[in-house]
Chain A
């Protein structure tokens, strides 16, 4: 499988892009050390609750807050002190880009893994048990899918109140139905196969059949969709941040950094660096996951080629 991935220059590009961003995210504390370093150093990578359970004292710190150089409202072009310039209110763009990579992975992984898990469970239940469970769940997914995705996520975020965590909740609430449908269809065809009949004949329980026999054989299309969604969910979150519903001002989040531009839309040519750099980061991140997802699809599931 890996050999086939590496043969195609397009999938190699995707892989390189994703690995590059993963590297930036992991190396963020070294590439852009926060002005007030977090203690202990390990807390950049290991969640505080694990360190505390090991007996370490962890001081609260927030490296995601972009350091501010003054309060001046107009952006400043790239210079020696700020290599990529500053946004409005003097937030350093380079720092925001580097820590924003972590935010992107955080949002992407949280949302995608959650909707994947929900979709797998509900899809498997629906497809395996059929009858009224199937009927009910499918009608519910139809209702969720009737909304335009971004609009629905926008409403729910507005109801929950501003914030990146609320954006993620909204994306999860309206993201799972696609997966539930996909998995259900796969499960429907898989449950009639001989190996499932054999498992049932040998007295395996429903749970065992679903998790050991059906899901492992039906999970691939969902995984392909998830790798594509890693990009598109980050994109949706960035769009909501751009509309001013995401993280608070000064948080290292690409969409939030671009949202400053809404105050000087008619002078963009002068402040190009506030659009090009964060915009380019989002573009490359999404592109990387899309190319990788396409490659996965070609390798794992030839039937899906050319669809979507």
Chain B
């Protein structure tokens, strides 16, 4: 087990480094002027056109990208655009240069927490990410807990009552969930529960609650999670308001993963119930409930652990769409607005963040998997 953990932990930085290299290579499609915003903490610098050349020189944006070698300038026609790779006109084909490649400068800036200037939020990208994070965390917590509990329960029930009405309903629901586009589902939810019925509303809080929460004299923001802060402040009215605003985004965000979890739990449970040891347990007169809970579920839920981890991908993808639809000011809406404005530093900051979360989550899930299922470790 220790060797397995060590191997996985060693791979982690390799993948994260690879991710940053890939991101940086994609950035090279932009002109040096467009890339400047990644290095800037103060937008006033970008306003002065006479300073741009100096800034490009300062941050070495025309230097070699990955390795300290330079070459002739190259132009590659791509159809819709021409990819220009700057180089040294005096150089033959390849020559060594005494400079720091751009990638390492940029990585240094990122490690120091400088992700550039966010035009979307009018502040440095890191500050924007930090200030938006609690909203998305709150959404994710509310989405994941019921997701796993109800999803597994439905899947197990569907398998136990195989080919009965409940099974058919869950099957149809999970197929629909698989095909239903998040944004269409979200818009329908909004149309029905806000437009028609008026039960739930978009955004994070109602206007009156938002006024109180924003006022430091009336309300202390301990964590930034509205529901938790409301409880800590003893404001039940705000707690209920925050809860009613989060219901629709949570439903929209999690139904895709529900479909997946129900489907996997059901098929895995069906397979386990056919195993001989389950028959043995039944034959020796064990009560059916005990057979299902103690004998079948234990083994059937192993693949479900992996799938629950995989559904994080779904959550990270879905958070962008969901928060846009419900005008929920979290990281996802930040990324969507930034992408719409072609504000590259902001989108990139979100990508770095979400990819890191995903890589770490995948690692945790793999370790969990190895812990539950000893066969994995031995491979």
The residues of A with any CB-CB pair to B shorter than 8 Å are 139-140, 142-144, 146-152, 154-163, 165-166, 231, 235, 238-239, 242-245, 258, 261-262, 265-270, 272, 275, 279, 282-283, 286-287, 290-291, 305-306
Q: Mark B348-375, 1 if CB is under 8 A from A, else 0.
A: 1011001100110010000000000000
Q: How many residues of B contact A (CB 8 A)?
A: 62
Beyond A151-B316, A269-B191, A306-B268, list 15 extra A-B contacts (CB 8 Å). Answer: A142-B18, A143-B22, A149-B317, A151-B354, A152-B355, A155-B23, A258-B187, A262-B324, A265-B187, A265-B325, A268-B195, A269-B192, A269-B195, A306-B263, A306-B271
- Do A148 and B316 touch (CB < 8 A)? yes
Residues of A within 8 A of B194 (CB): 266, 268-269
Residue of A nearest to B321 (CB): A239
- Do A268 and B342 touch (CB < 8 A)? no
Tell whether B347 is near chain A: CB-to-CB under 8 Å. yes
Tell whether B283 is near chain A: CB-to-CB under 8 Å. no
Residues of A within 8 A of B202 (CB): 265-266
- Do B183 and A239 touch (CB < 8 A)? yes
User: Knowing A147-B19, A147-B355, A148-B316 touch, does A267 contact B195 (C-beta < 8 A)?
Assistant: yes
Most buried by B among A166, A262, A305: A262
Tell whether B66 is near chain A: CB-to-CB under 8 Å. no
- Do A265 and B190 touch (CB < 8 A)? yes
Tell whether B339 is near chain A: CB-to-CB under 8 Å. yes
Residue of B nearest to A148 (CB): B316
A238 to B179, CA, bound (A): 13
- Do B184 and A282 touch (CB < 8 A)? yes
Interface residue SS majority, chain B: helix
- Do B179 and A286 touch (CB < 8 A)? yes
B271 to chain A, nearest CB (A): 8
The residues of B with any CB-CB pair to A shorter than 8 Å are 14-16, 18-19, 21-23, 26-27, 29-30, 80-81, 175-176, 178-184, 187-188, 190-192, 194-196, 202, 263-264, 267-268, 271, 313, 316-317, 320-321, 324-325, 327, 335-336, 338-340, 342-344, 347-348, 350-351, 354-355, 358-359, 362
Residue of B nearest to A280 (CB): B184
A150 to B342, CA, bound (A): 16
Most buried by A among B176, B195, B354: B195
